[in-house]
Amino acid sequence: MNDKITITMPYYEAPEMLKVHLENWCAYPDALADRVNIVLVDDGSPKYPAVEVLKSAKLPRSPIKLYRIQENIPWNHGGARNLGMHNVPDGWVVTTDIDLVLDAENAEKILEFEKDPQKVYQPNRLDLISGEWTQMKRHPESFVMTRKMFWEIGGFDEDFTGYWNGTFTPFRFAMRRKSNLIEWGDIYLLNHSDLIEGAMVSEWGRRGSIYDVHTNAEVLRNRRIATRHYQPKNPLRFNWEQVV
């Protein structure tokens, strides 16, 4: 079951960051590229759809599938993650954000690690500080797990769509109940949020809106407490299509 991995992430108005990923994947050695699948989900980008980036860029050896959510729904990254995990092949999946890069060295470490399908793994994260990659806090929504385990956990609860990080906490509650989280010490994702303009969705007007979790903290907190043991239902509450 460890012979391949799929990398999946949401995309929203981040063309320069997607170009960084494509260059990184193109640099994978052939033997590694043959063991990697890539599934991208465009979360309704109105200005810079991901498909236009793919049309104009050199594509890696690893096969890429691109799906697009047809509505521009505020803070729908939980739904975008669900769509990605709906369309990945069975087996091991690296699910992360667009501003985090999985280079060849760490992709190979993930493949080589003897993983338990009943567990969820969390990589470390490095940030480029004064010219050196330095360890920082782990990214809260980056995991390595099987597609089966993701859906046993229940996926991201789309009842919490519309809030920055709204879907994250209910997913963590469910993950703790249904799996064991293993924190990797020497497997890393490389943070590019401060290196590439437009790498984070907060730079495209979604943070600070009426949907911001900070604006609605008390309401969201009460909803999370009330639904702590709620099993998510009805994922993919939007229109979507495969474009590549």
The CATH number that applies at residue 96 is 3.90.550.10
Domain total of the chain: 1
Residue ranges of E strands in the chain? 5-11, 36-42, 64-69, 92-95, 100-101, 119-129, 132-136, 143-146, 180-191, 240-242
Residue range 185-222, pLDDT digits in tens = 999 999 998 788 777 655 445 554 444 545 555 655 66
Long-range contact list for 149-152, CB < 8 A, 24+ apart? 149/117, 149/118, 149/119, 149/120, 149/178, 149/179, 150/85, 150/93, 150/95, 151/85, 152/178, 152/179
**pLDDT band at residue 138 using 50, 70 and 90 as cut-offs:** very high
User: Would you state the pLDDT for residue 203?
Assistant: 47
* Residue at 39 is within a domain: yes
109 within a domain of the structure (yes/no): yes
Confidence of residue 140 (pLDDT cuts 50, 70, 90): confident
Domain contains 153:
yes
- 159 within some domain: yes
Range of the domain at 56: 5-132+139-239
- Considering the domain boundaries, does residue 116 fall inside one? yes
pLDDT, the chain, mean? 88
Q: Is residue 5 very low, low, confident or very high in pLDDT (cuts 50, 70, 90)?
A: very high
Is position 244 within any domain? no
Length of the chain equals 244
Indicate whether 109 pLDDT > 90: yes
In a domain, 106, yes or no: yes
